[in-house]
């Protein structure tokens, strides 16, 4: 049986992108560009193409993807949790900054 896959793009990233819909309690294999991998248990249901937290992120903590800060956490995010508009304040494309 193969695990669902998530990709970590940059060493600075604290989220990875899921490549299949996964249900809470499922394990995913997070791979980086160097070929390293880590198994993480998913806390929430996560849709295809969405992000999973690779570490605990405190309220106000930076959320990094592609090596860049894409937002800040609006509430505490636990490792393995779904990261999306419900728990982050985006720094991209807002138009009000």
User: Per-residue pLDDT averaged across 13-22, rounded?
Assistant: 96
Tell me if the pTM is above 0.85: yes
CA–CA separation, 42 and 33 (whole Å): 21
pLDDT at 94: 53
Q: How confident is the model over 26-41, as pLDDT tens digits?
A: 999 999 999 999 999 9
Cα–Cα distance, 60 to 83 (Å, whole number): 14
The pLDDT score that the predictor gives to residue 92 is 66
Closest CA to 57 of 24, 13, 14, 91: 14
Interval 18-30 mean pLDDT: 95
Q: Which domains does the chain have, with CATH numbers?
A: 4-90 (2.30.130.110)
What is the arithmetic mean of pLDDT over 9-38? 95
What percent of the residues of the chain are helix, what percent strand, and what percent coil, each to the nearest 5?
0, 45, 55
Q: pLDDT digits over 41-96, tens only?
A: 999 999 999 999 999 999 999 999 999 999 999 999 999 999 998 898 987 665 55
Q: Tell the burial category of 33 from Cβ atoms under 10 Å away from its Cβ (0-12, 13-18, 19+).
A: exposed
């Amino acid at each position: 049986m193969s695990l669902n896959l998530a990709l970590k793009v940059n060493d600075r990233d604290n989220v990875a992108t899921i490549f299949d819909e996964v249900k809470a309690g499922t394990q995913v294999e997070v791979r980086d560009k160097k070929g390293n991998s880590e198994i993480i248990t998913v806390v929430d249901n996560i849709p295809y193409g969405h992000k999973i937290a690779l570490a605990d992120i405190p309220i106000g903590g930076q959320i990094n993807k592609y090596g860049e800060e894409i937002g800040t956490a609006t509430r505490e995010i636990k490792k393995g949790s779904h990261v999306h508009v419900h728990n982050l304040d985006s720094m991209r494309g807002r138009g009000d900054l």
